């Protein structure tokens, strides 16, 4: 991993060293591959960024969907593509990191198979319950679960399940994780009383406003802007967090000018009003581009935190 | 209940020439992509969503609803005319539609499909507009345990379609379930049966499997059987009795109970997330056959078969919006795409949608009713056109259909892997048909499989290790009892018909 960091550092230094007047231009259409199916929030965001890039730079930017395994299928293709700046992938950090940790030897790519370019935003993951539930925080949920011979709690991604297992391990809470496919499904099962609590990634905010749901904890590293009084899991005494970032990466070995040019174009597109508005509407969060080095660091740090989740 | 002036203002917003044009454009696109094998209305909606960014919110929804409604009827056209369903939910339409076409009555069959489709659609729209709130409460009550029991019940009803050999029917269903297990398992996240294809992490893609087994297999069969190639794909007798080219009021009215049953099945299944229009179509078809005095005429060109399928699969569209509008929860991919379009416009779906956007919602209702009328009218017009298209020589029609399937599947999966899957399953479908295994049963099992497995895993999570907790789910127990009753009744009936022979 140290070698990877060193490479990133070197490349970054090179990128900075490139004089500003030498503007990079792709020699053909730039293919922006989205690791999820058409029509969802991620797809919409990717397409909006592609459209902004096209508008601002005049490049021919083509968005394409490559769904499968939360981005693994797409990054498999991007990792093997020619590093000429004409192939860029957009995915979510968590599923990629988990696959790297769990079955890294079987994956056709490694963490350093990519040049990281930008982050867009991160999902606002929270633990919620029905407004009339007889508890207000995770400790209350744990007590409820113990008193009732275990409580079903819904999750829709592996790290969320690991958080539940982590709470069980720490407190012997007997929570029963219930696998789900989407935030919508989880919220329905909470409202219908089929599960006692669930994870949610933004879709819950409207229900907080309407008074149907309450938030027990922020499951990310920080508190959320819309609920500044709700404590994070860490603040509640559980050293567990999940931070899914939406990010861009290209095949490793990009020429320095291509890397700088892409990063600059992405940064401008991400900062545009259209993308800001979309992220606020669809993800209930703010755009946050950490730049090439910040993105690479986010992924490297992510590996460490996922290992903690898996108890490695 | 919102104020009357909100309702009127909303409906008034919908009834403008501009919106009508968007609906017409949507229905035209929908019927076209539905009729062209391989693309399907969901794919067309997904492609259209980013374009709605520049439209007004109401025009955007009107357009998307037009695509969705047009597409569901459009899927029936190739199913009836050349036995290659454009969408999987039209597979049951082909069972009785295509035999009618072979008897020289393609217009009668497609018109029945159109009338039943619009009837079922209008029924569920009216349910949505008038009683969506209580129905949403019912849908909320249906948790994973109840959904699991409902799928068991659906299987027991659909089992009536297995055909002559029970063993072969069960084998086809088991194979469908096996194919549904490809990909990450819902509990542990372990990849299963992917053989190094990371593209299959999310499972075998639905569209390529359905199109491969249902449409491409049939196209290949017809291409192989072709001699010369100058023959038209569909022949309509020159001096046709006009009664064979239309559906009379008596024929339509005769199907009223079948269509009502289909519309109710479609509406109930549509109100519950995750079951989908394919299951509704087949459940309606199977129950129409069970209820018929002459079940043996099904599969040979019975109008009731077409009416049952099309009324059910179209009723799902309106009903899908019930959980969306009253709870903010999308009931299908189509409804999720409507949400995406709303979110792009800065409108937050959720429990407050009706309060904050009442006028827009009534505008949506107005647009939906408009889309039904337009669907009916454009369908009448389009049918003549499609009937002309398929009277072109076989060599052209089937070769074009094969090309379109390939392009459509590539578009919908974004990858050549989808095309490989389609071709592999075309081979599988051909083999199954040749050896007497029901492809239709395979496809239903494959479609319901992932939901079945997920709800089983959720049920186990909710019940924990204590089966007594099942007593807290009386609806689920009732559905299981119905499933046993349906299986038993069918066994008795089959034995009865065997002794009669």
Residue pLDDT, tens place only, A3-60: 555 555 555 555 554 444 457 899 999 999 998 876 677 888 898 899 999 999 999 9
Chain B residues lying within 8 Å of A212, measured CB to CB? 351
Residue pLDDT, tens place only, A281-302: 778 888 999 999 999 999 999 9
Model confidence at B24, in pLDDT bands (50, 70, 90)?
Answer: very high
A281 within domain boundaries: yes
Model confidence at A1, in pLDDT bands (50, 70, 90)?
Answer: very low
Domain ranges of chain B: 4-500
A231 within domain boundaries: no
Chain A residues lying within 8 Å of B410, measured CB to CB? none
Model confidence at B375, in pLDDT bands (50, 70, 90)?
Answer: very high
Chain A residues lying within 8 Å of B414, measured CB to CB? 38, 64-67
For residue B110, pLDDT over 60 is answered with: yes
Chain A residues lying within 8 Å of B145, measured CB to CB? 194
Do A139 and A192 fall within a single domain?
Answer: yes
pLDDT recorded at residue B501: 43
pLDDT recorded at residue A17: 47
Do A39 and A116 fall within a single domain?
Answer: yes
pLDDT recorded at residue A3: 54
Q: Cβ(B60)–Cβ(B408) under 8 Å? A: no
B190, B323, B326, B344: best mutation site toward chain A, by most A Cβ within 10 Å?
Answer: B344
For residue A176, pLDDT over 90 is answered with: yes
Do A249 and A118 fall within a single domain?
Answer: yes
Give the A:B interface size as CB pairs under 8 Å.
Answer: 136
Looking at every residue in chain A, the average pLDDT score rounds to 88
In this complex, the residue of A38, A158, A184 whose CB is nearest that of residue B330 is: A184
pLDDT recorded at residue B45: 84
Looking at every residue in chain B, the average pLDDT score rounds to 87
In this complex, the residue of A68, A187, A194 whose CB is nearest that of residue B462 is: A194
Do A154 and A212 fall within a single domain?
Answer: yes
Tell me, what's the ipTM?
0.84
Do A197 and A252 fall within a single domain?
Answer: no
pTM for the predicted model, two decimal places:
0.85
pLDDT recorded at residue B288: 92
A7 within domain boundaries: no
**Which range has the top average pLDDT, B115-124, B459-468, B486-495?**
B115-124
Residue pLDDT, tens place only, B294-329: 888 898 999 999 999 999 999 998 888 888 887 777
Query: How would you classify the pairing of strands A61-65 and A30-34?
Result: parallel
Å from A24 to nearest chain B CA?
28
Query: How would you classify the pairing of strands B183-184 and B191-192?
Result: antiparallel
Cα distance between residue A250 and residue A261, in whole Å: 12
Answer whether B329 sits within 8 Å of A194, measured CB to CB: no
Query: How would you classify the pairing of strands A245-251 and A114-122?
Result: antiparallel
DSSP track, B440-470? HHHHHHHHHHHHHHHHHHHHHHHHTT-GGGG
Model confidence at B499, in pLDDT bands (50, 70, 90)?
Answer: low
Q: Cβ(B33)–Cβ(B39) under 8 Å? A: yes
pLDDT recorded at residue B206: 85
Q: A208 by DSSP, 3-state: which?
A: helix
Dihedral in degrees, nearest 10, Cα atoms B132, B456, B261, B70: 70
Do A194 and A214 fall within a single domain?
Answer: yes
Q: Cβ(B22)–Cβ(B55) under 8 Å? A: yes
Phi, psi of B71 (to 5 degrees): -65, -40
Residue pLDDT, tens place only, A97-155: 998 998 888 888 999 999 999 999 999 999 999 999 999 999 999 999 999 999 999 99
pLDDT recorded at residue A19: 44
pLDDT recorded at residue B229: 62
Q: Cβ(A247)–Cβ(A267) under 8 Å? A: no
Between residues B138 and A228, which one has the greater pLDDT? A228
Q: How many domains does chain A have?
A: 2
Residue pLDDT, tens place only, B46-101: 778 777 777 888 999 899 999 999 988 998 999 999 998 867 788 899 999 999 99
Cα distance between residue B208 and residue B417, in whole Å: 9
Do A145 and A289 fall within a single domain?
Answer: no
Above pLDDT 90, what percent of chain A? 61
Closest chain B residue to A184, measured at CA: B329
A267 within domain boundaries: yes
Å from A210 to nearest chain B CA?
6
Q: Cβ(B319)–Cβ(B124) under 8 Å? A: yes
Distances (CA, A) of A43 to A235, A246, B167, B341, B455: 34, 11, 44, 12, 27
pLDDT recorded at residue B46: 78
Cα distance between residue B125 and residue B129, in whole Å: 6
A58 within domain boundaries: yes
Å from A219 to nearest chain B CA?
21
- Average pLDDT value for residue range A194-216: 92
- Single residue among A218, A236, A266 that ends a domain in this structure: A218
pLDDT recorded at residue A70: 82
pLDDT recorded at residue A190: 94
Residue A65 maps to which CATH number? 3.40.190.150
A175 within domain boundaries: yes
Q: Which domain holds residue A213?
A: 126-218
For residue A2, pLDDT over 80 is answered with: no
Do A60 and A207 fall within a single domain?
Answer: no
A132 within domain boundaries: yes
Do A297 and A251 fall within a single domain?
Answer: yes
Model confidence at B199, in pLDDT bands (50, 70, 90)?
Answer: confident
For residue B332, pLDDT over 90 is answered with: no
Do A248 and A164 fall within a single domain?
Answer: no
A3 within domain boundaries: no
Round the CA-based radius of gyration of chain A to a whole number and report it: 20
């Amino acid at each position: 991993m140290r070698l990877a960091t060193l490479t990133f550092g070197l490349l970054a230094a090179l990128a900075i060293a490139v004089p500003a007047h030498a503007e990079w231009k792709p020699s053909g259409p730039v293919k922006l591959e989205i690791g999820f199916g058409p029509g969802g929030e991620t797809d919409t965001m990717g397409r909006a960024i592609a459209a902004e890039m096209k508008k601002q730079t005049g490049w021919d930017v083509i968005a394409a969907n490559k769904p499968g395994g939360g981005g693994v299928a797409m990054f498999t293709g991007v990792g093997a593509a020619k590093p000429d700046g004409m192939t860029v992938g957009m995915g979510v950090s968590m599923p990629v990191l988990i696959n790297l940790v769990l079955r890294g030897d079987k994956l056709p790519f490694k963490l350093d198979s990519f040049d990281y370019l930008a982050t867009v935003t991160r999902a606002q993951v929270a633990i919620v319950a029905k407004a009339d539930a007889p508890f207000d925080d995770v400790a209350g949920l744990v007590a409820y679960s113990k008193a009732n011979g275990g409580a079903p709690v819904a999750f829709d991604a592996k790290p969320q399940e690991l958080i539940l297992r982590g709470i069980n391990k720490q407190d012997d809470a007997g929570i029963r994780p219930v696998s789900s496919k989407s935030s919508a499904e989880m919220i329905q099962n909470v409202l219908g009383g089929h599960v006692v609590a669930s994870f949610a990634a933004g879709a819950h905010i409207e229900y907080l406003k309407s008074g149907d749901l309450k938030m027990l904890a922020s499951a990310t590293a920080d508190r959320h802007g819309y609920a500044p009084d709700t404590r994070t899991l860490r603040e509640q005494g559980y050293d567990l967090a999940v931070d899914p970032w939406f990010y861009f990466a290209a095949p490793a070995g990009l020429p320095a000018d291509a890397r700088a040019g892409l990063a600059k174009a992405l940064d401008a597109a991400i900062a545009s009003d259209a993308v800001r508005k979309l992220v606020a509407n669809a993800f209930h969060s703010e755009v946050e581009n950490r730049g090439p080095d910040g993105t690479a660091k986010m992924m490297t740090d992510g590996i460490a935190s996922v290992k903690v989740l898996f108890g490695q | 209940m919102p104020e009357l002036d909100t309702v009127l203002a909303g409906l008034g917003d919908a009834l403008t020439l501009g919106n009508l044009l968007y609906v017409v454009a949507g229905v035209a696109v929908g019927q076209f992509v539905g009729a062209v094998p391989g693309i399907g209305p969901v794919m067309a909606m997904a492609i259209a969503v980013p374009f709605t960014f520049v439209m007004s919110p109401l025009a955007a929804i009107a357009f998307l609803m037009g695509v969705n409604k047009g597409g569901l009827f459009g899927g029936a056209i190739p199913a009836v005319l050349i036995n290659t369903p454009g969408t999987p939910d039209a597979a049951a339409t082909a069972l009785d539609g295509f035999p009618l076409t072979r008897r020289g009555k393609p217009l009668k069959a497609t018109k029945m499909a159109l009338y039943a489709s619009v009837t079922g659609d209008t029924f569920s729209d009216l349910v949505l507009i008038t009683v969506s709130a209580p129905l949403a409460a019912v849908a909320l009550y249906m948790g994973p345990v109840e959904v699991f029991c409902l799928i068991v019940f659906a299987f027991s009803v659909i089992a009536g379609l297995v055909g002559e050999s029970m063993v072969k029917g069960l084998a086809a269903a088991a194979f469908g379930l096996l194919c549904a297990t490809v990909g990450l398992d819902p509990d542990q996240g372990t990849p299963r049966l992917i053989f190094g294809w990371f593209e299959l992490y999310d499972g075998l893609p639905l569209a390529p499997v359905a199109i491969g087994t249902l449409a491409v297999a049939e196209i290949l069969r017809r291409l192989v059987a072709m001699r010369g190639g100058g023959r038209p794909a569909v022949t309509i007798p020159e001096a046709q009795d006009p009664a064979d080219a239309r559906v009379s009021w008596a024929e339509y009215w005769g199907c009223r109970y079948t269509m009502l049953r289909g519309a109710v099945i479609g509406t109930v299944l549509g109100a519950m997330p995750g079951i989908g229009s394919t299951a509704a179509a087949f459940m309606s078809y199977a129950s129409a056959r069970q209820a018929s005095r002459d079940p043996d005429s099904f599969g040979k060109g019975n109008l009731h078969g077409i009416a049952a399928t099309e009324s059910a699969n179209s009723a799902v569209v309106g009903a899908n919006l019930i959980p969306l509008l009253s709870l903010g929860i999308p009931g299908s991919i189509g409804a999720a795409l409507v949400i995406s379009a709303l979110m792009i416009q800065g409108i937050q779906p959720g429990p407050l949608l009706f309060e904050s956007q009442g006028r827009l919602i009534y505008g949506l209702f107005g647009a939906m009713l408009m889309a039904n009328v337009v669907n009916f009218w454009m369908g009448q017009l389009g049918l003549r056109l499609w009937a002309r298209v398929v009277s072109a020589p076989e060599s052209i029609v089937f070769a074009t259909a094969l090309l379109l399937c390939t392009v459509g599947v590539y578009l919908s999966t974004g990858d050549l892997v989808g095309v490989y899957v389609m071709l592999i399953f075309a081979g599988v479908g051909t083999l199954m048909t040749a050896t007497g295994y029901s492809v239709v049963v395979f496809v239903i099992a494959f479609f319901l499989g992932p939901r079945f497995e997920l709800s089983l895993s959720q049920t186990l999570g909710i019940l924990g290790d204590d089966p007594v907790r099942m007593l807290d789910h009386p609806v689920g127990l009732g559905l299981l009892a119905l499933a046993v009753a349906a299986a038993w009744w069918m066994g008795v009936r089959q034995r009865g018909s065997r002794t009669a022979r």
